[in-house]
Amino acid sequence: MNTFPLISVIIPVHNGERFLAEAIQNIRYQNYPVLEIIVIDDGSTDKTAEIAAQFHSEIHYVYQPNQGPAAARNTGIKLAQGEFIAFLDVDDLWADSVLLNFTDYSMKHPEIEIVQGLIQRMQWDGTVPNEHSAEFTPIFQPYQFINLGSALYRRSVFNKVGLFDELLWYCEDTDWFFRSWELNISKTVLPQVMLFYRKHDRNMTLQHKDLVHFGWLKIFKRRIDRARARSDRGEPPLQQTVQLLDYLGQSPD
Protein backbone atom coordinates (compact mmCIF):
# COMPACT_ATOMS: atom_id res chain seq x y z
CA MET A 1 0.00 0.00 0.00
CA ASN A 2 2.90 2.33 0.69
CA THR A 3 3.79 2.28 -3.01
CA PHE A 4 0.53 4.05 -3.91
CA PRO A 5 0.42 7.85 -3.64
CA LEU A 6 -2.58 9.40 -1.90
CA ILE A 7 -5.27 10.70 -4.27
CA SER A 8 -7.67 13.36 -3.03
CA VAL A 9 -11.00 13.15 -4.86
CA ILE A 10 -13.09 16.32 -4.67
CA ILE A 11 -16.87 16.16 -5.20
CA PRO A 12 -18.56 19.56 -5.39
CA VAL A 13 -22.31 19.22 -4.85
CA HIS A 14 -25.29 21.56 -4.82
CA ASN A 15 -28.65 19.83 -4.31
CA GLY A 16 -27.29 16.53 -5.55
CA GLU A 17 -29.28 14.14 -3.39
CA ARG A 18 -30.27 12.13 -6.45
CA PHE A 19 -26.67 11.21 -7.32
CA LEU A 20 -24.36 11.64 -4.32
CA ALA A 21 -24.48 8.09 -2.93
CA GLU A 22 -23.83 6.63 -6.39
CA ALA A 23 -20.86 8.97 -6.93
CA ILE A 24 -19.26 8.01 -3.60
CA GLN A 25 -19.81 4.31 -4.26
CA ASN A 26 -18.30 4.71 -7.72
CA ILE A 27 -15.11 6.15 -6.19
CA ARG A 28 -14.95 3.39 -3.59
CA TYR A 29 -15.33 0.73 -6.27
CA GLN A 30 -12.19 2.02 -7.97
CA ASN A 31 -10.36 -0.24 -5.49
CA TYR A 32 -7.60 2.31 -5.17
CA PRO A 33 -6.02 1.67 -1.76
CA VAL A 34 -5.26 5.19 -0.49
CA LEU A 35 -8.06 7.61 -1.20
CA GLU A 36 -9.26 10.80 0.42
CA ILE A 37 -12.85 11.64 -0.61
CA ILE A 38 -13.78 15.28 0.01
CA VAL A 39 -17.43 16.29 -0.44
CA ILE A 40 -17.97 20.05 -0.60
CA ASP A 41 -21.64 20.82 -0.06
CA ASP A 42 -22.12 24.20 -1.72
CA GLY A 43 -25.24 25.38 0.07
CA SER A 44 -27.56 22.47 -0.67
CA THR A 45 -31.15 22.74 0.52
CA ASP A 46 -32.16 19.14 -0.21
CA LYS A 47 -31.09 15.92 1.55
CA THR A 48 -27.47 16.07 0.42
CA ALA A 49 -26.20 16.42 4.01
CA GLU A 50 -28.26 13.43 5.17
CA ILE A 51 -26.91 11.24 2.38
CA ALA A 52 -23.34 12.36 3.04
CA ALA A 53 -23.80 11.47 6.71
CA GLN A 54 -24.34 7.83 5.72
CA PHE A 55 -20.70 7.78 4.59
CA HIS A 56 -19.31 9.82 7.51
CA SER A 57 -16.47 7.38 8.21
CA GLU A 58 -15.35 7.29 4.57
CA ILE A 59 -15.50 10.92 3.47
CA HIS A 60 -14.54 14.39 4.58
CA TYR A 61 -17.77 16.42 4.36
CA VAL A 62 -17.72 20.21 4.41
CA TYR A 63 -20.71 22.53 4.14
CA GLN A 64 -20.35 26.10 2.89
CA PRO A 65 -22.85 28.77 1.78
CA ASN A 66 -23.61 28.63 -1.93
CA GLN A 67 -20.66 30.25 -3.73
CA GLY A 68 -20.55 28.36 -7.03
CA PRO A 69 -18.59 25.37 -8.36
CA ALA A 70 -15.25 27.18 -8.60
CA ALA A 71 -15.34 28.12 -4.91
CA ALA A 72 -16.41 24.59 -3.94
CA ARG A 73 -13.52 23.04 -5.84
CA ASN A 74 -11.08 25.57 -4.39
CA THR A 75 -12.20 24.67 -0.88
CA GLY A 76 -11.54 21.03 -1.71
CA ILE A 77 -8.07 21.75 -3.09
CA LYS A 78 -7.12 23.71 0.03
CA LEU A 79 -8.19 20.78 2.22
CA ALA A 80 -6.66 18.06 0.05
CA GLN A 81 -3.68 16.14 1.40
CA GLY A 82 -2.99 14.00 -1.65
CA GLU A 83 -0.03 14.06 -4.01
CA PHE A 84 -2.63 13.80 -6.78
CA ILE A 85 -6.03 15.46 -7.10
CA ALA A 86 -9.08 14.32 -9.06
CA PHE A 87 -12.52 15.85 -9.47
CA LEU A 88 -15.84 14.09 -9.90
CA ASP A 89 -19.04 16.04 -10.39
CA VAL A 90 -21.81 14.51 -8.33
CA ASP A 91 -23.86 13.39 -11.36
CA ASP A 92 -20.97 11.80 -13.29
CA LEU A 93 -19.18 8.47 -12.91
CA TRP A 94 -15.71 7.05 -13.61
CA ALA A 95 -14.87 3.93 -15.57
CA ASP A 96 -13.48 0.96 -13.67
CA SER A 97 -9.85 1.05 -12.49
CA VAL A 98 -9.03 4.44 -14.02
CA LEU A 99 -7.36 5.71 -10.86
CA LEU A 100 -4.99 2.75 -10.80
CA ASN A 101 -4.21 3.06 -14.51
CA PHE A 102 -3.74 6.81 -14.53
CA THR A 103 -1.65 6.85 -11.35
CA ASP A 104 0.55 4.09 -12.72
CA TYR A 105 1.17 6.18 -15.85
CA SER A 106 1.84 9.32 -13.80
CA MET A 107 4.38 7.57 -11.58
CA LYS A 108 6.23 6.23 -14.62
CA HIS A 109 6.22 9.70 -16.26
CA PRO A 110 7.01 12.24 -13.52
CA GLU A 111 7.42 14.99 -16.11
CA ILE A 112 3.70 14.81 -17.01
CA GLU A 113 1.54 17.01 -14.79
CA ILE A 114 -1.94 16.14 -16.09
CA VAL A 115 -3.01 12.70 -17.31
CA GLN A 116 -6.32 12.90 -19.10
CA GLY A 117 -8.63 10.23 -20.44
CA LEU A 118 -11.53 10.24 -22.87
CA ILE A 119 -15.10 11.27 -22.12
CA GLN A 120 -18.13 9.14 -22.89
CA ARG A 121 -21.26 11.27 -23.12
CA MET A 122 -24.30 9.67 -21.52
CA GLN A 123 -27.85 10.94 -22.09
CA TRP A 124 -30.68 10.57 -19.60
CA ASP A 125 -33.50 8.62 -21.22
CA GLY A 126 -36.20 10.99 -19.93
CA THR A 127 -37.95 8.59 -17.61
CA VAL A 128 -38.43 9.44 -13.95
CA PRO A 129 -35.50 7.85 -12.06
CA ASN A 130 -36.10 5.83 -8.95
CA GLU A 131 -34.45 6.78 -5.70
CA HIS A 132 -31.31 4.79 -6.49
CA SER A 133 -30.45 5.46 -10.12
CA ALA A 134 -31.44 6.87 -13.48
CA GLU A 135 -31.10 5.30 -16.90
CA PHE A 136 -28.46 6.79 -19.18
CA THR A 137 -27.57 5.81 -22.74
CA PRO A 138 -24.18 6.46 -24.40
CA ILE A 139 -24.20 8.97 -27.27
CA PHE A 140 -21.36 10.03 -29.56
CA GLN A 141 -18.00 8.30 -29.64
CA PRO A 142 -15.56 8.84 -26.74
CA TYR A 143 -13.75 12.14 -27.13
CA GLN A 144 -11.22 14.50 -25.53
CA PHE A 145 -12.45 17.84 -24.29
CA ILE A 146 -12.56 20.14 -21.28
CA ASN A 147 -13.95 18.31 -18.29
CA LEU A 148 -12.19 18.33 -14.95
CA GLY A 149 -13.48 14.86 -14.13
CA SER A 150 -11.63 13.32 -17.08
CA ALA A 151 -8.13 13.81 -15.68
CA LEU A 152 -5.75 13.20 -12.81
CA TYR A 153 -3.70 16.21 -11.65
CA ARG A 154 -0.49 16.50 -9.71
CA ARG A 155 -1.20 18.68 -6.72
CA SER A 156 1.78 20.86 -7.64
CA VAL A 157 0.09 21.98 -10.87
CA PHE A 158 -2.30 24.20 -8.90
CA ASN A 159 0.68 26.07 -7.46
CA LYS A 160 1.69 26.92 -11.04
CA VAL A 161 -1.67 27.60 -12.68
CA GLY A 162 -3.54 28.81 -9.61
CA LEU A 163 -6.99 27.93 -8.33
CA PHE A 164 -10.29 28.30 -10.16
CA ASP A 165 -11.64 31.79 -10.77
CA GLU A 166 -14.47 32.17 -8.27
CA LEU A 167 -15.96 35.05 -10.24
CA LEU A 168 -16.86 32.52 -12.94
CA TRP A 169 -19.88 30.38 -12.13
CA TYR A 170 -19.77 28.90 -15.63
CA CYS A 171 -16.77 27.81 -17.73
CA GLU A 172 -14.39 28.08 -14.78
CA ASP A 173 -12.90 24.75 -15.91
CA THR A 174 -12.31 26.11 -19.41
CA ASP A 175 -10.62 29.19 -17.98
CA TRP A 176 -8.32 27.00 -15.88
CA PHE A 177 -7.33 24.86 -18.88
CA PHE A 178 -6.64 28.01 -20.92
CA ARG A 179 -4.25 29.19 -18.22
CA SER A 180 -2.67 25.74 -18.07
CA TRP A 181 -2.12 25.79 -21.84
CA GLU A 182 -0.62 29.28 -21.72
CA LEU A 183 1.95 28.05 -19.18
CA ASN A 184 2.78 24.92 -21.22
CA ILE A 185 1.67 22.60 -18.44
CA SER A 186 2.48 19.12 -19.69
CA LYS A 187 -0.58 16.98 -20.39
CA THR A 188 -1.01 13.52 -21.89
CA VAL A 189 -4.27 12.04 -23.14
CA LEU A 190 -4.57 8.28 -22.79
CA PRO A 191 -6.85 6.46 -25.28
CA GLN A 192 -9.09 5.15 -22.52
CA VAL A 193 -12.49 6.32 -21.33
CA MET A 194 -12.16 7.80 -17.87
CA LEU A 195 -15.37 9.76 -17.43
CA PHE A 196 -19.03 8.99 -18.05
CA TYR A 197 -20.40 12.51 -18.48
CA ARG A 198 -24.11 12.26 -17.75
CA LYS A 199 -26.49 14.81 -19.27
CA HIS A 200 -29.92 15.16 -17.68
CA ASP A 201 -32.71 17.60 -16.93
CA ARG A 202 -30.93 19.27 -14.00
CA ASN A 203 -27.53 19.91 -15.57
CA MET A 204 -26.41 23.41 -14.65
CA THR A 205 -25.08 24.07 -18.16
CA LEU A 206 -28.35 23.01 -19.80
CA GLN A 207 -30.44 25.25 -17.58
CA HIS A 208 -28.30 28.34 -18.23
CA LYS A 209 -27.00 28.07 -21.80
CA ASP A 210 -26.89 31.84 -22.31
CA LEU A 211 -24.71 32.26 -19.22
CA VAL A 212 -22.39 29.53 -20.48
CA HIS A 213 -21.92 31.41 -23.77
CA PHE A 214 -21.30 34.60 -21.82
CA GLY A 215 -18.75 32.68 -19.75
CA TRP A 216 -16.77 31.90 -22.91
CA LEU A 217 -16.62 35.61 -23.72
CA LYS A 218 -15.29 36.32 -20.22
CA ILE A 219 -12.59 33.67 -20.69
CA PHE A 220 -11.32 35.17 -23.93
CA LYS A 221 -11.40 38.63 -22.35
CA ARG A 222 -9.28 37.33 -19.45
CA ARG A 223 -6.79 35.83 -21.90
CA ILE A 224 -6.44 39.15 -23.72
CA ASP A 225 -6.02 40.96 -20.40
CA ARG A 226 -3.22 38.59 -19.34
CA ALA A 227 -1.40 39.15 -22.63
CA ARG A 228 -1.74 42.93 -22.27
CA ALA A 229 -0.48 42.81 -18.71
CA ARG A 230 2.64 40.95 -19.80
CA SER A 231 3.21 43.53 -22.51
CA ASP A 232 2.75 46.40 -20.05
CA ARG A 233 5.38 44.81 -17.80
CA GLY A 234 7.76 44.60 -20.74
CA GLU A 235 7.66 40.78 -20.76
CA PRO A 236 7.72 38.82 -24.03
CA PRO A 237 4.55 36.97 -25.07
CA LEU A 238 4.25 33.39 -23.87
CA GLN A 239 5.06 30.81 -26.53
CA GLN A 240 2.87 27.72 -26.44
CA THR A 241 4.38 24.39 -27.51
CA VAL A 242 1.02 22.82 -28.40
CA GLN A 243 -1.86 24.19 -30.46
CA LEU A 244 -4.87 25.18 -28.36
CA LEU A 245 -7.31 22.76 -30.00
CA ASP A 246 -4.86 19.90 -29.59
CA TYR A 247 -4.51 20.74 -25.91
CA LEU A 248 -8.21 21.20 -25.18
CA GLY A 249 -9.75 18.73 -27.61
CA GLN A 250 -13.18 19.24 -29.13
CA SER A 251 -16.76 18.58 -28.11
CA PRO A 252 -18.79 16.36 -30.46
CA ASP A 253 -21.69 18.84 -30.54
Model confidence pLDDT, tens digit, residues 137-152 = 888 999 999 999 999 9
Q: Is the pLDDT of residue 134 over 80?
A: no
CB proximity list for 144: less than 8 A, separation 6 or greater: 116, 118, 119, 150, 189, 249, 250
Amino acid residing at 67 = Q
Do 106 and 154 contact (CB within 8 A), yes or no?
A: yes
Q: What percent of the chain has pLDDT over 90?
A: 80
pTM (two decimals): 0.91
Q: How far is CA 112 from CA 19, 125, 190, in A?
A: 32, 38, 12
Element (H, E) at 181: helix 172-182
Give the per-residue pLDDT at 1: 45
Give the per-residue pLDDT at 150: 98
**CA quadruple 70, 75, 76, 82: dihedral, nearest 10:** 120
Q: Is the pLDDT of residue 163 over 50?
A: yes
Task: Calculate mean pLDDT across residues 10-37.
Answer: 96
Give the per-residue pLDDT at 131: 47
Q: What mean pLDDT value characterizes the chain?
A: 91
Rounded Cα gap, residues 141 and 173, in angstroms: 22
Specify which residues 116 forms β-bridges with.
Answer: 151, 189
